Structure 1
């Protein structure tokens, strides 16, 4: 079997770059380390070229919905990556996946967002679905959930503050975009740890920039539609009241993430969820209980109550929340810039491509261990520019080409736009691409194939 994947933009890799998957019979663990965890599948052992990276697919390490996640290894350096394999059977699913990739690109460069590497897609004519590959950095420290739930003793209040602050910094980066990006599925399971001991937020499949403003003109049908959509893209225990019932006419916006952060903070403190049973009435009325006689986290009780306000307009913005945590840290002598080494075992090691222990990773230059600094407080500014944007801006091509070859129909969505283009707005991306990319039969041909290049811009998200 040979499947060809086409990178949506050839810019950083040179025109005509393709992604190829081939069987690799006889693949085993050994130096690649895939035997250390995960589950083997029919995808395990294949070689994947996405953009300019050639990867050997390891074991499946996660799954959910229509996506599977594999660990993958650079065949030259043995560096680990996370390879997400997604399937879309209709236009709505294609648009959702394209939007997830767009958000990852736009957010790239923030220390607390999992770094985007590349993406590609292929139309499977046999099963009538589109297959996508999304490559991101691999967080060797695993999920925060496992690190917290399997501890032999509760977290200290200082440790909870440190963890929560890093998560809030990721959300702050999202909400500072223009328009704000709303995660909508914040939970402890979507927080990963790098080998250096820093939190990185992942899974932007539910993210959106769409805001709903219910009012008395909304029909029952419209309310039912929105509530149904919220059910599809959120996790019940973390769902905000305004998502469950639109009849209060509360705005559904980025403040849903603040509610989820309240649930997350509660979990970090008590290793239990405030709405464990996901009961609608309890969520609508914010009926939860802070454990009686708890004194360990007294300093955080009021913050939890502030975040879990029924009316989203009564919750703090992410900017206010971050400032409150910084003030709290100063008052309790908490170092917010430190890696979360207390979550690791003293002698814990990672793969041969990672530093031998978290402390070494934190100190390694360029190894993800540079501690984030608390920036000077200023008014929120949208569309912050990351170092990644500067790194790729000079490689934006004058034209972008999709490709048809070997009798296969290729997905021609734009999946790998540079961050510089993204920050200028999706509409501008459309205009730029439409100007530079011919979409008629005169556009050119794939070398040796006789098939025409073309690009379909219909799935660029707005």
Structure 2
């Protein structure tokens, strides 16, 4: 890990002995900021994610995010170019240097379509969704779960290749809950780290003795598919109204009666968004169905699950 240095007079930073020039702010969240920077040596643009670490636990979480990036070398998962930890003004920060994808997130693309009263073609939905599934499969195959899959955490490259980002909520796929105290701890963690309108039903009311696994991602995946089809998440409006998302997710997802997409795509969506995680399909099943829909151009699907 290289030494980091802020050279304020020139608005530049050094990570792993390479200089980068600050260009502009891109985004900011509760505990992190994202800046656009340019490499002094290669002239390429990068996204610099600065995570504020308020305590040792915060530093540990940032280190985990770094390790998650390093764990994967997959075209549908955002890579890590470099990183460092440093102290600025008495505060600790983790700096993650990431590839910059100018097209932005899947959500920004969907918003533009909505503003134009347009929609996404079924073939485009399947193309993007397949890439999301490929990235998620890579995560699940290594025994991890993303835990915060949503359109804002999917970047799109120019050829519509999706790239999963924000690995800060990732953890081991299988969590065994033993007792009410552990159940409450998992529930509290989910409330902080898993976006409410994309959060799986089993994370709202965690049972005292249960297994939480990667099926939480499958539910979120269904929400992402719904959002691509309807240009808004299935529970976005519920949340915006101030109604109970926890209650809403206990019922089957409602597909609008005049949905413009094929019966095959609608069946896929209904098959993914099953309230009981034990009845939810795994990522391999979902990926196979997507491939089947692509090859049959939205034809009929089998309904048997793995």
Instruction: State if a TM-score over 0.5 links the two structures.
Output: yes
Partner residue of 2:26?
Answer: 61
Q: 2:264 aligns with which of 296, 299, 306?
A: 299
Counterpart for residue 248 of structure 2: 282
- Give unmatched runs, 5+ long, in structure 1: 1-6, 8-16, 26-45, 335-462
1:286–1:308 contact (8 Å) kept in structure 2: no
Contact 1:251 1:312 in 2 (8 A): no
The residue aligned with 1:269 is 229
Whole-Å separation in 1 of the counterparts to 2:220 and 2:210: 16
CA distance, structure 2, for counterparts of residue 73 and residue 257 of structure 1 = 34
2:24 counterpart SS class? strand
> Residue 136 of structure 2 aligns with which residue?
171
Q: 1:141 aligns with which of 88, 103, 116?
A: 103
> TM-score, normalization: structure 1?
0.60
**Of the two, which has the highest radius of gyration?**
1
Q: Which residue, 183, 186, 194 being the options, matches 2:157?
A: 194
CA RMSD of aligned residues (A): 1.9
For 1:294 and 1:323, the matched residues in 2 are separated by: 23
Superposed displacement of residue 19, structure 1: 2.7
Within 5 Å, which residues of 2 pair with 1:146-295?
146-151=108-113, 152=116, 153-177=118-142, 180-209=143-172, 211-214=174-177, 218-219=179-180, 221-247=181-207, 250-276=210-236, 277-278=238-239, 279-283=245-249, 285-295=250-260
Between 1:231-240 and 1:197-206, the stretch displaced more is: 197-206
Kindly indicate whether the alpha-carbon contact (under 8 Å) linking 1:85 and 1:134 is maintained by their aligned counterparts in 2: yes
Matches within 5 A, 1:369-408: none
* Greater Cα shift, 147-156 or 257-266: 147-156
* Corresponding residue to 1:92 among 57, 66, 69: 57
- Partner deviation per Cα, 1:247-285 (whole Å, 9 max, x = no partner): 3855211110000000110110011221222421111x1
For the Cα contact (< 8 Å) 1:250–1:312, is it kept in 2?
A: no
Residue 333 of structure 1 and its aligned partner are, at CA, apart by 7.6
Contact 1:82 1:136 in 2 (8 A): yes
Runs of 4 or more consecutive aligned structure 1 residues displaced over 3 Å after TM superposition: none
- Mapped to 1, the partners of 2:67 and 2:128 lie a distance apart of 27
3-state secondary structure, aligned to 2:144:
coil
- Is 1:132 aligned to residue 94 of structure 2? yes
Length-normalised TM-score, structure 2 = 0.89
- Tell me the residue number matched to 1:345: none
For 1:288 and 1:130, the matched residues in 2 are separated by 43
Determine if contact 2:5/2:13 at 8 Å carries over to the other structure: yes
* Structure with greater helix percent: 2
Aligned counterpart in structure 2 of residue 113 of structure 1, from 77, 80, 87:
77
State the match for 2:304 in structure 1: none
Q: Is the 8 A contact 1:269 1:297 kept in 2?
A: no
What displacement does 1:89 show?
A: 1.3
User: For 2:261 and 2:87, how far apart are their aligned partners in 1?
Assistant: 54
Query: Number of paired residues?
Result: 290
* Greater strand share, structure number: 2
**Per-residue Cα deviation, 1:293-330 (whole angstroms, up to 9, x for no partner):** 22424221111111111111211111121111111111
Which is bigger in relative contact order (C-alpha 8 A, separation at least 6)?
A: 1
Aligned to 2:15: 50
Q: CA 1:236–1:333 in structure 2 vs 1: closer, same or farther (change >3 Å)? A: closer
Which residues of structure 2 form unaligned runs of 5+?
240-244, 300-306
Question: Are 1:103 and 2:64 counterparts?
Answer: no
Q: How far is 1:202 from its partner?
A: 0.7
